[in-house]
Each structure stands twice: as structure tokens, then as C-alpha cells.
Amino acid sequence: MTLHRSNHPLVAHKLAILRDKTTEPKKFRELVRELTWLLGYEAMADLATRPERIETPLEPMTASRLEPRVGLIPILRAGLGMVDAMLELLPSAEVWHIGLYRDERTLKPVEYYNKLPDAATVQVCLILDPMLATGGSSSATVDILKQWGAARIKQVSLIAAPEGVGTLSSAHPDVDIHVGALDSHLNERGYIVPGLGDAGDRQFGTFAGPASEPGHGPDDETAEVVRRLQREIDPN
């Protein structure tokens, strides 16, 4: 596993606005799109190309065309906000949706939607999820994609927690992780700190009040799961 943290000043600048709790959903969605464009550009820097003869207005030349077929795998629902930006970079990419939600008591992923065809139709898969928190959903998605037959898989997230990076890299050391920032830790509800809250709620304006606020009212079982993850990352 290789963790790629962007050091681009525009990524840092846009993340600062994205994190701000006063940023409204419309602006939040725009920033998710812009950050995805920047991170996607970096994530695809090592894709193979093949030579192809073309005619310019002046003379023939040998140009380069992208070799592998690429699939975009947004994890519903927050990953939807990253798809359009990636399609702007790579209009020929296929988009396959996988629906996972995190059980609030156990923090484990539960699959509820998967329409992948019987056999892999792409060589490279980019998993799109704004937040790599516990890493459970990403690890489960990689399991699904490997069973499908994907040859190469990358994770693209705006912000990650050490616990999530540790979980994903331990389960799938061959998956590269591209992020805009690596934050401090998870809180007792499994939210990234300092993070930005719930990326899905902030994109789609579905904040339900104090009871849904990140960090509010953890139950004992959820808190214990997070503490276990943190011990695995830093046993001291």
C-alpha cells in the first residue's frame, strides 16, 4: 500500500473552506467537485498509455492514448458528489455504483446495492468516497471488486483518518490510497477529527439537528469499536 497525500496548495485552500461549518451545501458540493478533479488528476498520473498514430493539422505524429479501461466506483451516497468531476477528467470511464451504509452500533459496513455485471469490464477501479474513516466500507468494496475481477484498485478520498488507512492497508496492501489530508483520529462515533462532519449530510442538506451532529451521544458499543481501531493503529 502507498498512501499519497496531496501537497498542492489549492487542495489545502479548498479543504479549509470545505471544513468550515458555515459552508452551505451548494458551495460544499462545488468544493467536493473541485477537490475531486485535483485529486483524480494525481491519482491517475501512473496509468499506462499506448502509442497511436494521428494526423495533426501540420503532419502525422505518434501520440499517446490511455491504455486501461477505467471504472469509477462511488460509494453511495456521499461518493456521488465525486463522479462528475472524474468524468470530466475521463469521459470514457464506466460508472458502477455500490451501496454500503455503516451500522451506527458496530461501525461495520452493510451492503444494500450492487449492480456490477458478472465479470469485470475494466482494468482499473477508482473507489470514490469523500471520507476514509474506519475503512470498513472501503475494505468491503475492495473485496467486492476483487471478486468481480478488477486487476487494479485505487481509493480516492478527500480526507482520511489513520484508523481507516490502517484498516484498508492491512486488509488490502496492494491498494493505493490518494487523499487530500490525513487527519488526527476518529471520535467515539467514528467521525474523522477535525474532519468536516458527515459528508453526505453536508452535500445534500440533510442535517437532522443536534441528535445527528458528529460526536453527539455515542453508545458504549460504538465507542468500544473505535477504541479498538485506535489501539490497533497505536498500541502504545
The chain-wide mean pLDDT, for the chain, equals 87
Q: Is residue 13 part of a domain?
A: yes
First-last CA distance in the chain? 23
CB 1 within 8 A of CB 135: no
Distances (CA, A) of 114 to 75, 162, 206: 10, 28, 24
**Number of domains composing the chain:** 1
Return the CATH number at 23: 3.40.50.2020
For the segment 39-49, the average pLDDT, to the nearest whole number, is: 95
How far apart CA 97 and CA 115 sit, in angstroms, is: 7
Residues 189-203 pLDDT 10s: 889 999 998 888 898
Give me the pLDDT at residue 231, please.
Answer: 62
Residues 143-183 pLDDT 10s: 999 999 999 999 999 999 999 999 999 999 999 999 999 99
Classify each residue of 33-67 as buried b or exposed e, where b means 16 or more C-beta atoms within 10 Å of its C-beta: bbbbebbbebbbeeeeeeeeeeeeeeeeeeeeeee
Q: Is residue 55 part of a domain?
A: no
Q: Is residue 197 part of a domain?
A: yes
Q: Is residue 57 part of a domain?
A: no
pTM of the model: 0.83
Q: Is residue 222 part of a domain?
A: yes
Q: Is residue 58 part of a domain?
A: no
Q: What phi-psi label fits residue 203: left (phi over 0), alpha (psi between -120 and 50 degrees) or beta?
A: alpha
| Domain enclosing residue 111, as ranges | 3-50+63-233
Q: Hey, what's the cell of 77?
A: 451516497
Distances (CA, A) of 176 to 69, 112, 137: 18, 25, 16
